[in-house]
Structure 1
Amino acid sequence: MRSVRDKYIVLFAVCLASVVLPLDFSGAAAATPAIARALRGSPTAVTWIVNSFMLAFGSTVMAAGALADVYGRKRIFAIGIASFVATSVAVSFAPSVAWLDAFRVGQGLAAACTLSGGSAALAQEFDGPERARAFSLLGTTFGLGLAFGPSLGGVLLGVLGWRSVFLSGAIVGVVSLAFAIPTMRESRDPNARGVDGPGTATFTAALALFTFALIEAPARGWTSLPVLGLFGAAALALVAFVQIERHAAHPMLDLSLFRYPRFVGVQALPIATACCYVVLLILLPIRFIGIEGHDEVTAGTTMLALSAPMLVVPFAVATCTRWISPGTLSAAGLVLAAGGLVWLGRIAPGAPVATMAKPMLLIGFGTSAPWGLMDGLSVSVVPKERAGMATGIFGTTRIAGESIALAATRAALATMIGARIPHPEMAQSVAAGDLLHAGGDSAIMLFAYGDAFRMLCNGLAVLTLASALVVLVFLSGASLVDEKARRDEIDEHPNLG
Structure 2
Amino acid sequence: MTQPDPHAPERGKPLILLAVCLAAVVLPLSFSGGAVSTPAIGRELGGSAVSLTWITNAFMLTFGSLLMAAGALADVYGRKRLFGIGIGFFILTSFALAAAPTVAWIDILRAVQGIAAAAALAGGSAALAQEFEGHARTRAFSMLGTSFGIGLAFGPLLAGVLIDVFGWRSVFLSTGLIGAAAMLFGLPRMRETRDPGARGLDWPGTIAFTATLALFTFGVIAAPERGWSSAAVAGSLAGAALMLAVFVAVESRVARPMLDLSLFRIPRFVGVQMLPIGTCYSYIVLVVMLPLRFIGIEGLSEIDAGILMIALSAPMLVVPVVVASLTRWVPAGVLSGIGFLVAAAGLHWFSLVEVGSAGFAVVPPMLLIGIGAGMPWGLMDGLAVSVVPKERAGMATGIFNTTRVAGEGIALAIVGAILAAIANVSLGAVLAESGAGAAGRLAEAAQRLATGDLAHAAQALPQVSRQLLVAGYGEAFRMLLHVLTAVTVLSAVAVFGFLSRPPRRDADAGGAAVRPNA
Tell whether 2:317 aligns with 1:311. Answer: yes
Tell whether 2:58 aligns with 1:52. Answer: yes
Separation (CA, whole Å) in 1 of partners of 2:81 and 2:166: 34
Tell whether 2:82 aligns with 1:76. Answer: yes
Shift of the 178–318 alpha-carbon distance from structure 1 to 2, 3 Å rule, reads same
Q: Which residue is 1:467 aligned to?
A: 491
Separation (CA, whole Å) in 2 of partners of 1:176 and 1:226: 42
Separation (CA, whole Å) in 2 of partners of 1:240 and 1:160: 47
Q: Which residue is 1:457 aligned to?
A: 481
Separation (CA, whole Å) in 2 of partners of 1:13 and 1:334: 31
Q: Which residue is 2:339 aligned to?
A: 333
TM-score by length of 1: 0.95
Structure 2 alignment gaps of length 5 or more: 1-5, 428-438, 513-518
Q: Which residue is 1:214 aligned to?
A: 220
8 A contact 2:263–2:508 mirrored in 1: no
The residue type equivalent to 1:77 in the other structure is F
Cα distance, 1:128 vs structure 2: 2.0
Q: For each residue in 1:93-143, what CA deviation from the matched residue of structure 2 results, as whole angstroms up to 9, or x when unmatched?
A: 100000011010110000001001101111110122222221222122112
Q: Which residue is 1:424 aligned to?
A: 443
Stretch of structure 1 that moved more, 202-211 or 62-71: 62-71
Separation (CA, whole Å) in 2 of partners of 1:390 and 1:176: 23
Cα distance, 1:65 vs structure 2: 1.5
Cα distance, 1:282 vs structure 2: 0.2
Shift of the 275–327 alpha-carbon distance from structure 1 to 2, 3 Å rule, reads same
Separation (CA, whole Å) in 2 of partners of 1:68 and 1:352: 45
Stretch of structure 1 that moved more, 306-315 or 235-244: 306-315
Separation (CA, whole Å) in 2 of partners of 1:181 and 1:390: 22
The residue type equivalent to 1:102 in the other structure is I
Report 1:285-324 matches (<5 A). 285-324=291-330
8 A contact 1:384–1:486 mirrored in 2: no
The residue type equivalent to 1:392 in the other structure is G
SS at structure 1 position matched to 2:183: helix
Report 1:55-134 matches (<5 A). 55-134=61-140
Stretch of structure 1 that moved more, 100-109 or 419-428: 419-428
Tell whether 2:19 aligns with 1:21. Answer: no
Separation (CA, whole Å) in 2 of partners of 1:102 and 1:360: 33
Cα distance, 1:200 vs structure 2: 0.3
Q: C-alpha root-mean-square deviation of aligned residues, in Å?
A: 1.7
SS at structure 2 position matched to 1:354: coil
Q: 2:471 aligns with which of 447, 471, 487?
A: 447
Q: Which residue is 1:436 aligned to?
A: 455
Separation (CA, whole Å) in 1 of partners of 2:279 and 2:370: 10
Tell whether 2:143 aligns with 1:137. Answer: yes
The residue type equivalent to 1:433 in the other structure is G
The residue type equivalent to 2:478 in the other structure is R
8 A contact 2:73–2:82 mirrored in 1: yes
8 A contact 1:382–1:486 mirrored in 2: no
Stretch of structure 1 that moved more, 220-229 or 445-454: 220-229
Report 1:165-184 matches (<5 A). 165-184=171-190
Cα distance, 1:283 vs structure 2: 0.3
Cα distance, 1:4 vs structure 2: 2.9
Separation (CA, whole Å) in 1 of partners of 2:498 and 2:322: 23
Separation (CA, whole Å) in 2 of partners of 1:33 and 1:174: 27
Report 1:368-387 matches (<5 A). 368-384=374-390, 386-387=392-393
Cα distance, 1:387 vs structure 2: 4.3
Q: Which residue is 1:484 aligned to?
A: 505
Separation (CA, whole Å) in 1 of partners of 2:456 and 2:511: 64
SS at structure 2 position matched to 1:438: helix
Q: Which residue is 1:495 aligned to?
A: none
Q: For each residue in 1:67-95, what CA deviation from the matched residue of structure 2 results, as whole angstroms up to 9, or x when unmatched?
A: 22222111110111111010000011100
8 A contact 1:381–1:484 mirrored in 2: no
Q: For each residue in 1:166-224, what CA deviation from the matched residue of structure 2 results, as whole angstroms up to 9, or x when unmatched?
A: 11101101111111122100112222111110000000000000000000111111222
TM-score by length of 2: 0.92
Stretch of structure 1 that moved more, 69-78 or 321-330: 69-78
SS at structure 1 position matched to 2:118: helix
Separation (CA, whole Å) in 2 of partners of 1:302 and 1:427: 25
8 A contact 2:277–2:404 mirrored in 1: yes
Cα distance, 1:161 vs structure 2: 1.0
Separation (CA, whole Å) in 1 of partners of 2:413 and 2:149: 20
8 A contact 2:138–2:382 mirrored in 1: yes
Structure 1 alignment gaps of length 5 or more: 492-497
8 A contact 2:98–2:172 mirrored in 1: yes
Shift of the 73–19 alpha-carbon distance from structure 1 to 2, 3 Å rule, reads same
Cα distance, 1:486 vs structure 2: 6.9
